[in-house]
Structure 1
Amino acid sequence: MRPRPGAVLRLLGVVGAGVLAVGSVVGCSGENQVSSIGYAIDVPITSYNGGSTAGVIGGASAVFGRVLTGFFYTGPDGQQVADTDAGTAKEVPGESQTIQYRLNPDGVYSDGVPTSCDDLVLAWAARSGRFAQAGAPMFDAANTAGYSEIERVECQPGSKDATVVFRPNQYFVPWRTLFAAGELVPAHVAARAANVANVVSALQTGDSGAVTRLAEFWNTGWTLGADADLSKFPSSGPYRIESFSAEDGVVLVANERWWGNKAETGRIVVFGKGADLKSKVDDKSVGVLDIGADSVRDLGTGGFSAKTVPGRGAEQLLLSNSGVFGSVAARRAFALCVPRQALFDELGKVDQAPTSGLGSGPLNSRTVQQDSLFYGPATGAADRYKTTDIPGATSGFASARVPAPTVRIGYLGPDDRRARTVAMIAEACKPAGVTVTDAGSADFTPSRLTEGSVDAVLGSTAVMPGPAGSLSGMTATSALRTDSGLNFGRFGNGRYDAITDQLAADDNSTVQLNLLTESENLLWSEMPSIPLFATPRTIGFADGLQNGVAGPSQGGSGWNMDRWVLKR
Structure 2
Amino acid sequence: MKIKKWAAPLAVVLGASLALSACSTPTPNETTPSGEETTTSTDNGSGEPKVVTVGWNQAMYSANDDTNHGNAAANAVINYLIKSEFFYYDGDLNVARDESVGTYEVVSEDPLKVQYTFADTAKWADGTPVDAADLLLSWAGVSGVFNDDVTERDEEGNLIIADDQVFFASPTAGGALVQEFPEISDDRKSITFTYTKVFGDWEINLDLGVAAHATAKIAGLGDDAAANKDAVVKAFQDNDRATLAQIANAWRTGFDFVASPSEDQALGNGPFKIVEYVESQYITLERNENYEGNRTPKIDRVVVRYSEDPQAQVQALQNGEIDMLAPQATADTLTQLQALQGVTVETGVDGTYEHIDMVQDNGGPFDPATYGGDAEKAQKVRQAFLLSIPREAIVEQLIKPLNPNATTRDSFVLLPDDPNYSTMVEQNGSADYAKTDIEKAKELLAEVGVDNVDVRFLYGKSNVRRANQFVLIQESAAQAGFNVIDGGDDNWGTMLDTATDQYDANLFGWQSTSTAVTEADSNYRTGASNNFYGYSNKTVDALFDDLQTELDPAKQLEIQIGVEKELFKDAFGITIFQFPAVNAWNSQITGVQPISISPTIFHGFWNWDIAE
1:113 to 128, 139, 143: 128
**Cα distance in 1, alignment partners of residues 541 and 348 from structure 2:** 32
Aligned to 2:175: 147
Q: Is residue 290–residue 539 contact of structure 1 (8 Å, CA) maintained in 2?
A: yes
Secondary structure in 2 aligned to 1:38? strand
Deviation at 1:61, TM superposition (A): 2.1
Aligned to 1:496: 540
Matches within 5 A, 1:213-362: 213-226=246-259, 228-261=261-294, 262-273=296-307, 277=313, 280-294=316-330, 300-301=336-337, 302=340, 303-322=342-361, 323-326=364-367, 327-349=378-400, 351=402, 360-362=406-408
User: CA 1:115–1:485 in 2, change beyond 3 Å: closer, same or farther?
Assistant: same
Secondary structure in 2 aligned to 1:53? coil
Deviates more, 1:30-39 or 1:204-213: 30-39
Aligned to 2:24: none
Aligned to 1:437: 485
Superposition CA RMSD, Å: 2.8
1:415 to 435, 447, 463: 463
1:372 to 413, 418, 423: 418
Q: Deviations over 1:217-256 (max 9, x none)?
A: 0011111233532244222111111111223322110111
Deviation at 1:93, TM superposition (A): 2.5
Amino acid at match of 1:123: S
Secondary structure in 2 aligned to 1:324? coil
Q: Is residue 131–residue 189 contact of structure 2 (8 Å, CA) maintained in 1?
A: yes
Q: Is residue 263–residue 562 contact of structure 1 (8 Å, CA) maintained in 2?
A: yes
**Gap runs ≥5 in structure 1:** 1-7, 12-26, 355-359, 462-466
**Cα distance in 2, alignment partners of residues 400 and 230 from structure 1:** 57
**Cα distance in 1, alignment partners of residues 140 and 81 from structure 2:** 24
**Cα distance in 2, alignment partners of residues 202 and 296 from structure 1:** 56
Q: Is residue 62–residue 257 contact of structure 2 (8 Å, CA) maintained in 1?
A: yes
**Cα distance in 2, alignment partners of residues 98 and 229 from structure 1:** 37
Deviation at 1:418, TM superposition (A): 0.8
Amino acid at match of 2:105: K
Deviation at 1:279, TM superposition (A): 5.5
**Bigger Rg, which one:** 2
Aligned to 2:62: 47
Same amino acid, percent of matched pairs = 23
Deviation at 1:353, TM superposition (A): 5.2
Deviation at 1:422, TM superposition (A): 1.3
Deviates more, 1:213-222 or 1:372-381: 372-381
**Gap runs ≥5 in structure 2:** 1-7, 12-38, 152-160, 222-227, 368-377
User: CA 1:378–1:544 in 2, change beyond 3 Å: closer, same or farther?
Assistant: same
Q: Is residue 46–residue 58 contact of structure 1 (8 Å, CA) maintained in 2?
A: no
Deviation at 1:106, TM superposition (A): 1.7
With structure 2 as the length reference, what TM-score do the two structures score? 0.80
User: CA 1:232–1:430 in 2, change beyond 3 Å: closer, same or farther?
Assistant: closer
Aligned to 1:124: 139
Query: Number of aligned pairs?
Result: 531
Q: Does 1:392 pair with 2:411?
A: no
Deviation at 1:53, TM superposition (A): 2.2
Q: Is residue 44–residue 274 contact of structure 1 (8 Å, CA) maintained in 2?
A: no
User: CA 1:446–1:233 in 2, change beyond 3 Å: closer, same or farther?
Assistant: closer
Aligned to 1:17: none
Aligned to 1:19: none
Deviation at 1:273, TM superposition (A): 4.6
Q: Is residue 45–residue 272 contact of structure 1 (8 Å, CA) maintained in 2?
A: no
Q: Deviations over 1:369-388 (max 9, x none)?
A: 32333322222311121111
Q: Deviations over 1:419-470 (max 9, x none)?
A: 1111122222232122223321223335357532111111111xxxxx5454
**Cα distance in 2, alignment partners of residues 555 and 230 from structure 1:** 23
Aligned to 1:185: 210
**Cα distance in 2, alignment partners of residues 75 and 554 from structure 1:** 12
